Amino acid sequence: MKKLLLPQWLKDNEVWVSLGLIAAVSALAYLPLIGKLGLYRDAWTLIWAGRTQNLNTFVSLFSVDRPVVGFLYMRLYALCGDNPLTWQIFEFLLRLVGSVGLFYLLRSVWPKMRLFSTISAMLFIVYPGFLQEPNAVVYWTSFLTCALVIYSILFSVIAIRAENKAIAILAVGLAILCQVCYLFIDEFEIGLEGLRLILIWYLTADAGKPLKGKIAKVFVRWAPYLPVLAGFLFWRIFIFQSSRPTTDVIRLLALYTSSTFAMTQKVALGAWKDFLNATFFAWVVPPYQLITATRNRDLIVGLALALLASGLFWLFYRWARKTIHDDAEELGRSRSIVWIGLVTTICAILPVTIANRNIGFSLDSTIDRYTLHTTFGVVLLIVGALFLLNKNKWRIWLPVRVLFLSVLTQYNNAVYFRNAWETQQQLWWQLAWRAPNFQDGTVLMVNLPNDVPSFSEDYEIWAPANIIYNSIPDTLKIYSEILSAETAPLLVHGEKQPRFIRNIQFDRDFTHALIVSMPSTSSCVHVINGDRPDLSPAEPPLIKWVAPYSHIQQIETDVPSSQPPAIIFGQEPPHTWCYYYQKMSLAQQQRDWEKVIALGEEAIQANLEPNDRVEWMPLIEAYAYSGKLKQAENIILKLYGIPNLREDLCQYSLKQQDNPSLDLPEEGMNFLTDRLCNSQWVNATP
């Protein structure tokens, strides 16, 4: 029994050196920035649910498509809580466990091809086609599913290899248990049942037997897994009804029935494109996208980490060639591995394309997530093809180059997500400084700089806003919508619109909308007042169009300030210029001109000033409306020379004069109009 559970090769030092190499490479790829990653996309809904609702909300959220996942989140949130770092560590460990399982699986199938299994498991864990790992709160389920698939197939192999009947029965039972678990967590990975079948054929079918005998023997080995597979498909197609259109099987079947030829053609072409994406473009497109998007300083660090990982593998390879003596018949086995990898990749891709999904690579989307489960077949195909090469130098230098590129890509990807998280932290901390609270029913619409990832769903805004500003459990106080050319008419026409997502339902009234914009990464967050929009020259045309429909009165100014929870949003940032600007803007809204002046002069004494010169306007107005015209003139001079800024602020000043409801001091308004609109004044100034 001990011999079966602990094979001889597992006692070798080489095994532990190989596992150490895999762990070291994964650590270099994923751990350097793990503490600087945060929450992204769907993660906000989940953290909002766990923090502000009761834990049963998780069950409700996932009841629309994957009911089992909701129960898993209930348990895991109780363990990981709100801390993004805890989720990151848990997900990393899951990925490492899956890679170790793949290593053990390959060693069990091809015990004499040890170098092959090490390289395969190493490239599997740093595969550059899947770039969603930093979104740990969401994608830990994907790594859990992958690990369950691997161990399910591993136990199937152990059952075939076992000489003891009791061990074989136990292994089959564990394989079935893992199979049940992974199918009910992520149905897209059902295609990997093809890997189980082909490995059963590879290990069971005797070359000397007739085909009929081979099929019968393979079927006997495969039969225990068929009831689970058939039962799951029956439940998913005929019993369970998904309320999400993208996971509704009945709706998908209706689409195939009504457009059979078109959908068949689409699946065939989509599968071919996805195959190319998973096997070839995954090693080219994401690396290029991320290298070109990474700043030089971060790129140098990434290059150093990739070089270190490649160096570790090179040293391992040099040592292994002296220690490992692989089977001389490995060439024939490599051909089999290539075919197994090819079939596995196709089987993994087909459920995705049949479900009308496709693999793609874009930094602002998540469609690369469908590559993760294809990685099993991809590494077998690529590394198997590598071992077909007769020259040993190709076996070292090709993996070294691929590993170098993969580690560099994963680090650069972490940099990309780190930068996105830093922008989000700035957004919410500055908004907390600026807005003590919001009226119930406020609809936030946020514009982010062009060079950072934009929000793609409204819950990326309303979830963190409610975490910060809503202390009443099981309620939703602040709503949101993505700001785009498609949603702008909702603002312009003041429409009302219902929203339903994952059993969360509410109505939005766009007459209560408030626009928040960060024009550039060097600007502060600007809360736009539609009655008097002083806009930055860096604002896109869309903001200039919709600015008059931003309702500043949605901010409650005479209440205690809300504080973002540090466990989620990090510690409060240092009080640089943007802190003073937000506090001046709040005092400007309250027309507390003396407070604006005090804050502005405190910032000036600290040698702070804005990168975006329009941010001087609260202090300029405070001086003008307090009768301190000379001080106002001195700052207005700072605005000249900025293209179009003075002209835009001139229009802003004229609008204020035309709006008597603002009830501002006439002397101050006349002064601002003269200084901002009269170009001769600045030319006459010494």
- For the stretch 490-515, pLDDT in tens is 999 999 999 988 888 899 999 999 99
Q: What's the angle, vertex CA 24, arms to CA 157 and CA 110, rounded to 5?
A: 25
**What DSSP character marks residue 452?**
S
Give the C-alpha distances (Å, rounded to integers) separating 271 from 208, 252, 342, 347, 348. 35, 17, 13, 10, 10
pTM confidence score? 0.91
CA dist 43 to 47, 67, 73, Å? 6, 17, 11
- Count CB neighbours of 100 within 10 A: 18
Helix (H, G, I), strand (E, B) or coil at 244: coil
**Contacting residues for 599 by C-beta, under 8 A, at least 6 apart:** 580, 583, 584, 587
The per-residue pLDDT for 331 is: 62
* Averaged pLDDT in 10-residue chunks for the chain of 686 residues: 50 86 97 96 94 87 88 92 95 96 95 91 96 95 96 96 92 96 91 94 77 84 94 86 69 79 87 94 95 94 97 91 65 86 95 89 89 94 86 76 96 96 96 96 94 89 96 90 93 91 90 95 93 86 93 94 94 96 95 95 95 92 91 86 74 76 80 78 49
Domains and CATH numbers, the chain: 2-418 (no CATH), 437-557 (no CATH), 574-686 (1.25.40)
Nearest Cα residue to 483 out of 447, 533, 537? 447
Classify 95 in phi/psi space as left (phi over 0), alpha (psi -120 to 50) or beta: alpha
The 10 Å Cβ neighbour count of residue 352 is 25
Summarised one tens digit per residue, pLDDT across range 368-385 is: 999 999 999 999 999 999
Q: Is residue 305 packed enough to be buried (19+ CB in 10 Å), middle (13-18) or exposed (0-12)?
A: buried
Token readout for 541 is: 């045309």
